[in-house]
Structure 1
Amino acid sequence: MMEEDEDTGGNNSTYEIDLGNLTVEDTEDEPVSTISTNGVAPQDEPPLILEEVTSPVPLVTPTQATKLMAQVQDSHMAINFKFEEKVFTNGQKPPLICGSCQKEGHCKADCREDELPPLVRLPPMNNHFLNQLTAIFEQLTKDFEPSVEEIEERDRIVSDLEAYIKQFFSGVQLKLFGSSANGFGFQRSDLDICLTFKGNPEGKDIDHIQIIEALADKLKRYRQCNHVFAITTAKVPIVKFAIRRACLEGDLSLYNTLALQNTKLLATYANIDHRVKCLGYAMKYFAKLCDIGDASRGSLSSYAYILMVLHFLQQVKPPVIPVLQELYDHSKAAPEYMIDGWNAWFFREAKGKTLAQHWKDYGKNRDSVGQLWVSMLRYYTETFNCRGHVVTIRQ
């Protein structure tokens, strides 16, 4: 539609090109050999003259648009292009893609693949079945826990790595954390190593990224390591590497001190009662078999599954393990050991201070591993209120 421009006092004309009928395909640059939207080849298109435009043009091809713009530059005229939603979307809405299954047509909240099947109550278990479960879990622990030789080899790797890094950074201390040291690690599990500097427990005035990059550069020259590279964009910058002689992969981070303390806490629980370790391995293996042990894909991490086991063993009657953070003289203020703003204190046995002396329920629970496994399944499927409660091992 041709309009007189009121702002220019009638001296200039404004030509309105209505693009409401354009589609995405119509606006793409077409090859010379193709047919335009007017039904003719681009080189045969009739010229579009501004002075001859008396009504809105439903669509223009790229070739015509180029010629129009050339005319605008040589005149005192202006063109108004109407860009409407239906032009760009072709009348379609953005696709709805599920964040869980990555399929179109529904959102994650309505994903059928995330729907749980109806629960079936477990039938009563006879002693023969429970004894078989116990034997299976005992054997599973023996099959998957690292041997004494492997644990010693891991310690030697860390010791040798520390000696090498000390040549370039004085006061370095390396410590294992995570599954390699918490009592629930599988054979050949990755090495998670925390680096700190002696005399600087909180890592003050340290440029983590600069040190990580320098460590990666030095480890590339270490004969025992290969496939070394730094990841500095992560929340916790790390150096990833592999150990040649042991065929193990590892991550080296700086001042991951809260993870160190959590590792000590889990190791303490694992050493209180052998059933704790058996159930921990059973839960991790169960999650692996069911393919629900990858936090990056929306399920829980292996650490979270271990917390579920510990929480249940604290809640069962009588409890198998205590809440170590509550084993102190409640007539006094609660002990504190602050790390990154968190109170990470927990009870640890020492000379003249045993768990049996400070926990009244010590040794009272006599259930077998099989009985505890079935009870744990019932607890989380029938008793635990997942909407109103949280899994915690602090109370």
Structure 2
Amino acid sequence: MESSEPSDVESLPRGGFRCRLCHVTVANKPSLDDHLRGKKHQRLENLRTVRQTQESRSVFVSGFRKGTPASELSDYFQAYGEVANVVMDKDKGVYAIVELQNEEVLEKVLAEPQHSLGGQRLRVKPREKKDFKYNPPRKQGSAKREQLSPEKLAENLCQADDVDAQMSLMVQLFEFSESERRLRDLLVTLFQEVFLEFFPGSAILPFGSSVNGFDVCGCDLDLFLDLEKTQSFQASAKAPNMTQEGASPEVDTRSEDSILSDIDLASATVPEVLELIATVLRKCVPGVHNVQAVLNARRPVVKFCHKESGLRGDISINNRLALCNTRFLQLCTEADERVRPLVYVVRYWAKQQALAGNPFGGGPLLNNYALTLLVLFFLQTRSPPVLPTVSQLKELSNEEEQTTVDGWDCSFPKDSAQLNPSANKENLCSLLAEFFHVFEDYDFAGCVISLREGQQLPLSSFLSSEADNKLKLGPFNLQDPFELSHNVSANVNEKTALRFQRCCRDAAKYCRSLQYQRKSTKGKIWGLVRLFQPGNPEALATDGFIVNLPLTLAAVPPQSCELLNQAGDMRQLWFQKICTGIAFTLRDVLRCSCLETAQGFEEEQAATRSQQQEEQIEAKMKLLSAGSKRPLENDEGEGVLSPSAKKSRIDTFLPTGESMTWDCSTLHRVWLGRRRVRRQLRGTDLDLTEKAGSLELEAKVSELISKQEGETTPTEPLLQFTVCARVTEAASGKQGTCVRLSFTPVPEQAAAFQEFFHFLQGFLPRMVEQYLVTRA
């Protein structure tokens, strides 16, 4: 700590420290000492020292002619002493920073009353000293991720006029920007130029999401290296006594300089060729790093990363069918403008429900290609159909378009103008609702979905020994439209298939509600925004944000049970203790502002009892005044003015509708990064978990997160919401109670509140139970 300037370290409340040089906050003095001895702090200290030394012996020079070279300035100031460096203004060329060897030379230069160079009078003054500031490098693509965050997406979607407009907006928000398209085109051009040098006649062809019409910002760049002409060229070049008719001198020259002399493409294995491609990428393609050949995949590839943009991609050499699939998807998007919005929405919905994704190394989730085919199949089976089947497309193709790839028939028109417009006029809103309705009870395991025929195919046609297509059957069977032996969802397990059906069922139910079909006039979230919320959208549409606390007497310590029994008002006092635990968790553990808005328990109970008695007396007096006889059950039970004490106490102590409400707000995102901060606390104090319970530990985590977010307290709350606690009977029986918590955020923050609410669903019940055990 002695080597640091005093201004580097700032003391924080409750023993914390902040390093202004590195923008790092630590919890205590030992952690601060470790940080100050660390590589990052030492490196920045050295960098600051070098910068300050340079400033102390440098002069600012201006007034010379534009275009004056740095060497001319250096030669001029050499007359006063040695010059260490000259930095020119590259943008305008009107000033320069001249760094001298030491301060003695600096004093000589400044002592000269007038400097001139090439007939121009120079203005020479000491270099301005600036405070050293460390600007951490920003991660590539962070702005795009922020723009497409769930909160930003919800905010944009809620401003649309209807669901159709929301779905079209999804495409605009997720598709490539012009700059990203240009970047990918430039990379493809760069790869083409490099590979032509090593593999004459080769072609680099993009496929997949980059070009099939369903591009999403940041998706991988999939490339296919076509070496067919290269193999032909190599074979003809090696053939003895070949006349070489038609071969140009350019080709011969390239063959001598190419890498083909080291490998025979006709006999080389796929791993050997891929390793060669990886070598070319590492050594000859500028800006490419993290090159790795993945040889154990279903389609072996070479993965790479573009350093400047962070764009990832892969190159394959035996995936020609992917080119046909890409062109087929392009044709579908060109055939009907409703295809793209529907696919974008279904993909994002499945991702939000944790049903889909492209996990590294596979997994039981549906991939984007499978989801896209599922949407296309749905559009094929509408009445009338939106898209034709693959068999119908084959009939429309001409002789030039008849294509066979790897033994599979891949014939279909290349021009969408050959297709007849669809007679189906359903809008996007109804199509999306019908998609969920169709697949909510679909028998994915009992049939095979075929886009070639546009219908379900029985499993028997694939189980027989004579079947040509040895399709791998499973809980989810979706046949590739061209490679008929490939089940594109073969990785999906039974659990994911059933969960997909359940989520479709929930979504279909929600799509029948007004919250989906109409824009909210009260500023509430609606349409696709509710659909994208993880969990059951229908429950959120009708019940809001709900957390149930199913607490039984077993959760209360024995000493508390004795006190409750002695007091008699067991459920009343129990509810009070639970509410105290809720308020403690929100206020003391999560550092939320939490103000009670309900009446006190005793006052509210007395007022409720008095109102009930008055209503009972008034009703019975009316019966008597009308000449009606008193009901028989009143003769056996209580009279008109019988005291309420004769009623069952459990019904009178907690009447239906009794509740406790809090107005809450939070200034910091205390739900983010808790695991990381918890590790920091445990690392700085090994005995923390032994001497502090869960409540104390979580309170310290929230406190540290609040400190790390900023020095000053925000003037406006990050989130504002109300919490209402009510008691309901437990579904398991009469002996238990269940506290139902309803969270209501302000309308304009409903989308942003989602993330906090999902954290509370698991965190709040655990903390309240801990409070009852340790504090009640």
Task: Specify the TM-score bucket, using the shorter chain as the normaliser.
Answer: 0.5 to 0.7
Q: How does 1:95-244 map to 2 (within 5 A)?
A: 132-199=162-229, 205-221=267-283, 222-244=285-307
Find the aligned partners of 1:152 and 1:293 in 2 and give their Cα distance.
29
Is the 2:210–2:221 Cα contact (8 Å) retained in structure 1?
Answer: yes
> One-letter code of the match for 1:224?
G
Answer yes or no: is 1:281 the counterpart of 2:344.
Answer: yes
CA 1:322/1:201 → structure 2, altered by over 3 Å: closer, same or farther? farther
- Pick from 432, 435, 444 the counterpart of residue 376 of structure 1: 435
Is the 1:184–1:277 Cα contact (8 Å) retained in structure 2?
Answer: yes
CA 1:288/1:329 → structure 2, altered by over 3 Å: closer, same or farther? closer
Shift of 1:227: 0.9
Is the 2:227–2:317 Cα contact (8 Å) retained in structure 1?
Answer: no
Find the aligned partners of 2:393 and 2:330 in 1 and give their Cα distance.
17
> One-letter code of the match for 1:214?
L
CA 1:269/1:367 → structure 2, altered by over 3 Å: closer, same or farther? same
Partner of 1:76: none
Q: SS of the residue aligned with 1:194?
A: strand
Shift of 1:207: 2.6
Is the 1:229–1:240 Cα contact (8 Å) retained in structure 2?
Answer: yes
CA 1:343/1:205 → structure 2, altered by over 3 Å: closer, same or farther? farther
Find the aligned partners of 2:447 and 2:161 in 1 and give their Cα distance.
32
> One-letter code of the match for 2:194?
Y
Q: SS of the residue aligned with 2:206?
A: strand
Is the 1:225–1:243 Cα contact (8 Å) retained in structure 2?
Answer: yes
Find the aligned partners of 1:201 and 1:349 in 2 and give their Cα distance.
30
Partner of 1:343: 409
Find the aligned partners of 1:287 and 1:185 in 2 and give their Cα distance.
17
Find the aligned partners of 1:141 and 1:279 in 2 and give their Cα distance.
9
Runs of 4+ aligned structure 1 residues displaced above 3 Å come to: 200-206, 327-330
> One-letter code of the match for 1:138?
S
Find the aligned partners of 1:326 and 1:136 in 2 and give their Cα distance.
32
Find the aligned partners of 1:374 and 1:131 in 2 and give their Cα distance.
18
Answer yes or no: is 1:304 the counterpart of 2:370.
Answer: yes
Answer yes or no: is 1:245 the counterpart of 2:327.
Answer: no
Partner of 1:321: 387
Answer yes or no: is 1:260 the counterpart of 2:323.
Answer: yes
Find the aligned partners of 2:231 and 2:275 in 1 and give their Cα distance.
21
Is the 2:208–2:326 Cα contact (8 Å) retained in structure 1?
Answer: yes
Find the aligned partners of 2:330 and 2:370 in 1 and give their Cα distance.
15
Q: Point out which structure has higher relative CO (alpha carbons under 8 A, 6+ apart).
A: 1
- Pick from 357, 365, 368 the counterpart of residue 424 of structure 2: 365
Shift of 1:233: 2.8
Is the 2:356–2:367 Cα contact (8 Å) retained in structure 1?
Answer: yes
More moved, 304-313 vs 156-165: 156-165
Q: How does 1:15-94 map to 2 (within 5 A)?
A: none
Q: SS of the residue aligned with 1:199?
A: helix
Shift of 1:201: 8.8
> One-letter code of the match for 1:152?
R
Is the 2:379–2:387 Cα contact (8 Å) retained in structure 1?
Answer: yes
Shift of 1:242: 0.5
CA 1:328/1:186 → structure 2, altered by over 3 Å: closer, same or farther? closer
CA 1:247/1:225 → structure 2, altered by over 3 Å: closer, same or farther? same
Is the 1:324–1:347 Cα contact (8 Å) retained in structure 2?
Answer: no
Q: SS of the residue aligned with 1:294?
A: coil
Stretches of structure 1 that go unaligned for 5 or more consecutive residues are: 1-129, 357-361
Q: Percent identity?
A: 29
Shift of 1:237: 2.0
Answer yes or no: is 1:292 the counterpart of 2:355.
Answer: yes
Find the aligned partners of 1:187 and 1:141 in 2 and give their Cα distance.
11
Shift of 1:267: 1.1
Q: SS of the residue aligned with 2:304?
A: strand
CA 1:224/1:325 → structure 2, altered by over 3 Å: closer, same or farther? farther
Find the aligned partners of 2:322 and 2:162 in 1 and give their Cα distance.
36
Find the aligned partners of 1:378 and 1:201 in 2 and give their Cα distance.
51
- Pick from 324, 349, 355 the counterpart of residue 419 of structure 2: 355
Is the 1:307–1:392 Cα contact (8 Å) retained in structure 2?
Answer: no
Partner of 1:118: none
Shift of 1:223: 1.7
| Cα deviation 1:153-198 (Å, max 9, x = unaligned) | 2122111111112222212211111111111121111001010124
CA RMSD of aligned residues (A): 2.7
> One-letter code of the match for 2:318?
Y
Find the aligned partners of 1:215 and 1:153 in 2 and give their Cα distance.
22
| Cα deviation 1:263-321 (Å, max 9, x = unaligned) | 11111101111110001101111111111113622121110000000000010011111
> One-letter code of the match for 1:344?
C
Shift of 1:200: 6.3
Is the 1:293–1:299 Cα contact (8 Å) retained in structure 2?
Answer: yes
Partner of 1:34: none
> One-letter code of the match for 1:393?
L
Q: SS of the residue aligned with 1:300?
A: coil
Find the aligned partners of 1:201 and 1:310 in 2 and give their Cα distance.
37
| Cα deviation 1:181-233 (Å, max 9, x = unaligned) | 11112111100101012426998544321111111112112222011111223
Shift of 1:393: 1.4
Find the aligned partners of 2:437 and 2:184 in 1 and give their Cα distance.
38
CA 1:210/1:329 → structure 2, altered by over 3 Å: closer, same or farther? closer
TM-score by length of 1: 0.60
TM-score by length of 2: 0.31
Q: SS of the residue aligned with 2:168?
A: helix
Answer yes or no: is 1:390 the counterpart of 2:448.
Answer: yes
Shift of 1:326: 1.6
More moved, 145-154 vs 257-266: 145-154
Is the 1:194–1:257 Cα contact (8 Å) retained in structure 2?
Answer: yes
CA 1:258/1:132 → structure 2, altered by over 3 Å: closer, same or farther? same
CA 1:135/1:292 → structure 2, altered by over 3 Å: closer, same or farther? same
Find the aligned partners of 2:432 and 2:181 in 1 and give their Cα distance.
28
Shift of 1:371: 0.8
> One-letter code of the match for 1:299?
L
CA 1:316/1:131 → structure 2, altered by over 3 Å: closer, same or farther? farther
